[in-house]
Structure 1
Amino acid sequence: MKYAIIAAGEGSRLAKEGVNAPKPLVKVNGVCLIDRLISVFMDNHAEQIIVICNSNMTAVSQHLAELKEKGLNGTAVPLEYIVKSTPSSMHSFYEISKYLEDGPFCLTTVDTIFHEKEFAQYIKEFNKCVENGTADGMMGVTDFIDDEKPLYVGADSDMNITGFFDEQNGCKLISGGIYGLTPGAITILRQCIERGDSRMRNFQRALVAAGCRLKARLFSKVLDIDHAGDIAKAEKFLNGES
């Protein structure tokens, strides 16, 4: 399976709070966010890992160049990366979509924090759905809400996704920013770009509107690193302290 990472944000909120490193190079438990994701993806049989980073973050592009040349912790990484500033995460997804047209893939943002064992199980279940032809995608969701603007996810008793909502509307789940998709999603992404949509949540709504069969897969927690205090939260979570 291919994996993709959106790492094109500038991390302006972190910078305002005294975190000097660009977000992909922020360390959690002593490991850069980008390196942690790449390591997790390698542990889950990554055929290729595609990253997009902001053209203003030269330290990140240099880091990626070194990873491509020397590998991660002595292990070669099948890495491709694009250096380009984009107006939104959905536009970043669009820029790397050309690498994702030939098979199922998993996409995340660079600051997505989850337990590795839960992610491994998620990938196994997504692969099984693809092999059986029972779903067009599987979204990582959680009932732990610690997001400033969560995207609520409606799902039936079989965890089939029925909608994505800005308001809670009785939903108990929110999007974790973990997207397991099949190539048909790329066509819908490009339609979204053509009509001027600019948010990942609108892309997800477009998937539902197009009749894509999306499954929700529950994670105990999924955290984002948006503020300086989120780093300590993430470390406690990964260390089993919360």
Structure 2
Amino acid sequence: MAPTTKTDSIVVIAGYGPGISASVARKFASLGYSKIALLSRTQTKLDAAAAELVATHKITAKGFAVDLADPPAVQSVLAAVRDDLAGTIGVLFWNPFGQGQGIFDLTAETLNNNIALSVTSLVLAVQKIADDLAANNGAILVTGGSLSLENDGSAQLAVDWNVATLAISKAAQRKAVHVLHFALKGKGIFVGEVTVHEIVKGTDFDAAGTATLTPESVADKFSELESKRNAVFVSVP
């Protein structure tokens, strides 16, 4: 069952960028959510994106600059979101992306930063807004990737592409999503992840410009997952 207070509850887009997260923001605006908060590092980019949402969808939108690898800062910014947008949070979309490094040249700093982005800040964010989500029959939606899967192919890709930090942190994120799902379902909060198996068109990984998976189709999958709430993990394509 979808949240019952769409027009009042806030959608938080954590890890905002011009690809999947921008499409998810537009998707939820089109579904009737009237308050959207955009979180990432750069305030000027957030301001421009929020202004576009306001102009196109006639909603309230605001950007909040924050380092999503800093869990206390994430908790603080969520409090600011509630105050500034005068409401409670009904959807948390978690989409931050870390830096890829190979298994033999990764640094502790980069690996820890990736774990913070994918797991620690996510869990601390949920702690902060669990009451809001419960009151709204809310949802936590997380972007995953095929590198997180436990198979020889994904492990070999992590080696070939020198992105062990991403594979390790996303695998930990997948387990966190699974644990959160079972911890929160009794409170009426849905937790789910969309595992993206292909390069998304227009993103940094699409350097050759040959990707066919659109961010809009990924956003549609998130909308479907939130609406049906019948699986923890779904895949696209």
Q: Is the structural similarity TM-score above 0.5?
A: no
Q: Where on the TM-score scale, by shorter chain, does this alignment land: which range?
A: 0.3 to 0.5
Q: Under a length normalisation based on structure 2, what TM-score does the superposition of the two structures give?
A: 0.42
Which has the bigger relative contact order, CA under 8 A and spacing at least 6?
1
Q: Under a length normalisation based on structure 1, what TM-score does the superposition of the two structures give?
A: 0.41
Greater strand share, structure number = 1
